[in-house]
Amino acid sequence: MPQRAALRWTSPPLPNGAPTPLTQVTKPSKTAAAQRFVAVTGASATEAQQYLRESNYRLDAAVDAYFARQSAAPRLSAAQEREATAALHAVFDAYQDPDGEPDTITTEGALRLFGDLGVDVASVSVLPLSYYLNAPSLGHFTRTGFTDGWLRLGLGPALAGRPPPAEVLAEMRRAVPAIDDAFRTNGPVLPPRSPGQAASKKGLYTTVYEYTFVFARSEGQKNLPVDVALTFWDLLIPYAPAYDAEGTRGAAPCFSARQYALWKQFLTEAANVRIISKDTWTQFLEFTQEIDPHFATHDFDAAWPSLIDEFVEWARKQET
């Protein structure tokens, strides 16, 4: 069996309470939820559908997400933004590598930063935070991405008086649990600060999952080595929307720990592949949301990557 990637920032799969799949929500229920959402929030029907889809048609979660997004990253005056930016720059300066590239935090500084934020560097929490801070790769942050990310996360008003770095770090620590919660429930993505950038219509988990492919690649590479892909799948898959560790949903689409173990075994022992393409990475998440516990409903005529079709053929033989 090929040896796994020697990546320090990994953690064992953790239990996940996945929400009900969209396939189990009836059309009348979706319509009623949308009508109720509009009545409560005053939002448009289009916004109702977006928030409800992102929250798997859990009305309370969708309404909470809507109001959270409306209140996120409030507008700052020019003076307030200058003060908040200066406060964030002071924190950034404390972690950047004095001997490295300018305006860059590298691995040593990133480890100290995560430690001071109370984020376990071996946990999946590193990924959504890195996404919001626009980290180009693991353990690297730029001054621009760092500053814009924390302002996007709504820290601006608390930093407008340019508090000392210790108080800025305290505000950052308070923001981390909400990021984790939104990631683990596939909640809405906070809108970008720039008016020219469109807000993501996908949930935070899905957005971070797709971001991770680029984040995990080596510079200049188009694909992920299988061992690196598996390292990051180990972090991400236990929180996937359709993940059900015990596989107890019967015939409903779900992806269990047993199925994931088969996928890993297939890639490391049966498949003659060394890399994972972006198409396979992206569609594997879709596959986990459509497959049944025994791989019986897989459509070989659909546009799945050939590697996934080969996996299903192999997995069915393991079932007999």
Domain total in the chain:
2
Cβ atoms < 10 Å from Cβ of 309:
15
Residue 215 CA to residue 207 CA, distance in Å, equals 12
Domain-embedded: residue 301: yes
Domain-embedded: residue 99: yes
Cβ atoms < 10 Å from Cβ of 14:
12
The string of pLDDT tens digits covering residues 160-173 is 999 999 999 999 99
Same domain membership, residue 298 and residue 245? yes
What band does 67 get if pLDDT is binned at 50, 70 and 90?
low
Q: Can you read off the two tokens belonging to residue 143?
A: 């001054």
Specify the pLDDT at position 24.
58
Specify the pLDDT at position 100.
81
The string of pLDDT tens digits covering residues 235-286 is 999 999 999 878 666 556 679 999 999 999 999 999 989 999 999 999 999 9
Domain-embedded: residue 1: no
pLDDT reading at 93 higher than 70 = yes
The string of pLDDT tens digits covering residues 188-228 is 999 888 766 777 788 999 999 999 999 999 888 999 999 99
One-letter amino acid for residue 166 of the chain: A
Same domain membership, residue 165 and residue 231? no
CATH number for position 273? 1.10.238.200
Specify the pLDDT at position 133.
97
Domain-embedded: residue 262: yes
Q: What is this structure's pTM? A: 0.77
Boundary residue ending a domain (136, 165, 184): 184
Top pLDDT among 30 and 129 is at 129
CA nearest 273: which of 238, 234, 306? 306
pLDDT reading at 11 higher than 60 = no
Residue 185 CA to residue 205 CA, distance in Å, equals 7
Q: Can you read off the two tokens belonging to residue 34?
A: 């949308």
Can you give the residue range of the structural domain that contains 107? 78-184
Domain-embedded: residue 50: no
Sign of CA dihedral 200, 205, 209, 212: positive
pLDDT reading at 15 higher than 50 = no
Q: Pairing state of beta strands 275-276 and 141-142? A: unpaired
Averaged pLDDT of the chain: 86
Answer yes or no: are the C-beta atoms of 23 and 252 closer than 8 Å. yes
Boundary residue ending a domain (158, 184, 210): 184
Domain-embedded: residue 172: yes
CATH number for position 105? 1.10.238.10
Same domain membership, residue 173 and residue 246? no
Specify the pLDDT at position 54.
80
Boundary residue ending a domain (169, 184, 199): 184
Domain-embedded: residue 152: yes
Alpha-helical (H) ranges within the chain are: 27-41, 45-54, 59-71, 78-95, 107-117, 126-132, 143-152, 156-159, 165-184, 204-216, 226-236, 257-265, 278-290, 306-319
Residue 169 CA to residue 308 CA, distance in Å, equals 44
Specify the pLDDT at position 169.
97
Domain-embedded: residue 22: no
Same domain membership, residue 256 and residue 164? no
Task: Compute the radius of gyration of the chain from its Cα atoms.
Answer: 21
39 burial level (CB within 10 Å; 0-12, 13-18, 19+): exposed
Specify the pLDDT at position 121.
95
